[in-house]
Structure 1
């Protein structure tokens, strides 16, 4: 940044909340989970020695330019075109897959390889439900004793179902029961028993392959299905 040492300007496209517009098929939801687990999600971040530490749903966004085309949408009134001339039109996630990203790295830690394994203090990020933080008797002392990558993984899953009024419809989505075993493994209260991201990615691949097989679809393609929305 000119005349501002240590500052940079980052230019990004317009980004939308990951749940807007809502998912129309099971495969669209599966693609979301895949990206959040693999690339550019938790596995990619962890392999680069970064612990996000605030991976709640409000810190996941969607790059949806492929869905909305050149007319784009207004950054504040997302249902309208950029020039307010009419309601914005868009293609489905299935037709024009978006890309999902984590944002807000204010609490994140970038480790050097020689600093791992590491521990982190309990902290007050967007997620207040991390079990090892809640049961930490030294919460106020902030003793660095927790596994940073284990806590990031649980935050992703605990907040995959947002509680805001804007995203209320997601709590009513049906058809994702096949994800329950993986969610249970990733939200195990004991961080020592909680699966790490590489194992979670492998389990997700097996779940997706099994689901494709049950639908009679080749595992190399995306399996489609109804989310329970009208």
Structure 2
């Protein structure tokens, strides 16, 4: 059973963090060392010092209390833990473990986040999923058109793989797509403030995606649903995910709909919101030079779900688009539409210097997994 240790500084912990602190002794016995912040007896490092808490490593916390990082003692690997309540999300663990099964885990087209272990918290029904430490899919920003092409290609491939196994994600917006950036960040990065080094001394140094290609993963199966392979007319009750720009068929919660075209709609939104159009509500700016994706994005977000392409069709059309792009186009820099012209000139100069180096080293314009 987890040990409830009195802690005089509960006010310094956010809601949800006390659960991790109270379960720390059990997790430690399981070989998972939590950060000092959620360890019983923790005293904030800024107390008694003339420093801002924001500058202290142990002040850093997660916006979502259901996640927490840990050091796996047997191999000193930093992993991510997720607290899942099966009563609230009955399908999440089953779907996550299904795609991490021996039969599916090593298939290259599988872009579902790997599950290293699933543990049941003692005395309660909570399941802890142990996963790799990943980064947000768009951090750091894409440098070239080729890097964006690789990103979208992997995501489309991964969603097709899910659909082929009759699983609809239902919440596939950008925050639920992450990347394994171990190769990009050989020195690692802090799990919470990922622009910082693991030891909190300076910024995390990294290579570009072109130099060290990442693998992108689809995460968070909390509202995902799996149908029998024989089901030719899958239907579900509408629930709302994180993307407020929802397809018309799920404007009302509880409405019956086919969730697979809705997945296509959400992926079309990623193209529109982050590349071809931008999004005022999140202050994401349009990127210059992605008009070649506008037609595909428009079809993927058609208001009539029956007129949207299937994921098979999306992947096929995307392959044609990709094949029609020149090496020169693929090596172009990703430019925000509001970039100041002097900054653009300076960055373009640096970019083409780096590009010349890539060409000399024969690094392809589209990152390729080794």
Alpha-carbon contact 1:175-1:226 (below 8 Å) kept: no
The residue number in structure 1 matching 2:27 is none
Q: Which residue of 1 aligns with 2:294?
A: 180
| C-alpha separation in 1, matches of 2:288 and 2:123 | 51
Counterpart Cα distance in 2 of 1:101 and 1:66: 15
Count of residue pairs brought into register by the alignment: 212
- Decide which of 109, 127, 144 is 2:225's aligned counterpart: 109
1:125 to 234, 238, 241: 241
2:311 to 168, 176, 197: 197
Using the size of structure 2 for normalisation, the TM-score is 0.53
Residue of structure 1 aligned with 2:198, choices 70, 77, 82:
82
Say what the alpha-carbon RMSD is for the aligned residues.
2.4
Alignment of 1:15-34 (within 5 A): 15-34=134-153
Larger Rg: 2
2:165 counterpart residue number = 48
**How far apart are the structure 1 equivalents of 2:141 and 2:280?**
14
Q: Secondary structure at the match of 1:125?
A: coil
Q: CA deviation at 1:96?
A: 0.4
Deviation at 1:209, TM superposition (A): 0.9
CA separation in 2, counterparts of 1:6 and 1:115?
A: 31
Mind listing any 5+ residue stretches in structure 2 that lack a counterpart? 1-118, 337-346, 348-370
Q: Which of 242, 251, 265 does residue 154 from structure 1 map onto?
A: 265
- Aligned partners of 1:102 and 1:92: how far apart in 2? 21
Distance 1:184 1:157 in 2: 7
Q: Which runs of 5+ in 1 are unaligned?
A: 218-222
- 2:334 corresponds in structure 1 to 227
